[in-house]
Amino acid sequence: MVKPKKQRRVLYPPRFYFFKPAGVPASKLETVNLTIDEYEAVRLVDIENLNHLESAKSMQISRPTFTRLLDSAHKKIGSAIINGYAISIEGGSFIFVNNAYRCRKCGYEWDLKIDERKKNIRTEENCPSCNEEDIENMEDILKKQGRGRAHHHGRRDWRGGL
């Protein structure tokens, strides 16, 4: 029997889930799937400038596993750029540490730790910038788009496709 993948910790949901070459309809493109945990590996190393050991600790996985995850992500991104493929970000085995929110009125985006959501309901209901009540929960957007399903204890197990 295959050992199940350990759930990787991801700071918050990606704000964008699909990228494609300009001027080409998506229906005419092949798509490369970058998993949410691969996305997080790229974010930690290429954006946050963490080394592999620090990144692996952040995701609560081993350093060799992290390196394989990052290598896979870089190959997929490189292939998409070189061959003109679209990139879809979905799937993987992970849990979110934080969630992201966006105000529909002013466009302000902010993060909130998952455990703070229960303590601080007011932050979820109003934009910290303009106090508008019309906000989007980025995790809910993923669910509506069919990119995940509920998992025990409020965690997400995102293995579905479009």
Q: Specify which of 6-10, 12-16, 39-43 reaches the highest per-range mean pLDDT.
A: 39-43
Same-domain status, 80 and 102: no
The reported pLDDT for the residue numbered 68 is 97
Q: What pLDDT, on a 0 to 100 scale, did the predictor assign at position 7?
A: 85
Residue 64 in any domain: the answer is: yes
Find the CATH number of the domain harbouring 13: 1.10.10
- Is 59 in the same domain as 125? no
- Please, which pLDDT band fits residue 76 given cuts at 50, 70 and 90? very high
User: CB within 8 A of 74, min separation 6: which ones?
Assistant: 42
Give yes or no: residues 85 and 107 share one domain. Answer: no
Average pLDDT in the 76-99 region?
92
Say if residue 129 is in the same domain as residue 88: no
Q: Please report whether residue 162 resides in a domain.
A: no
Q: Which domain holds residue 107?
A: 97-147
**Maximum average pLDDT range among 50-59, 125-134, 146-155:** 50-59
If one counts the domains in the chain, the total is: 2
25-44 average pLDDT score: 96
Q: Quick one: pLDDT at residue 45?
A: 98
**Does the residue 36 lie in any domain?**
yes
Are 26 and 85 part of one and the same domain? Answer: yes
Establish how many alpha carbons lie within 13 A of residue 66's alpha carbon, considering only the half-sphere containing its beta carbon.
Answer: 23
Please check whether residue 61 lies inside any domain of the structure: yes
Judged against a pLDDT cut of 90, whether residue 85 lies above it is answered with yes
Which H or E element spans position 80? Answer: helix 63-83
**CATH for 142:** 2.20.28
Higher pLDDT, 146 or 97: 97
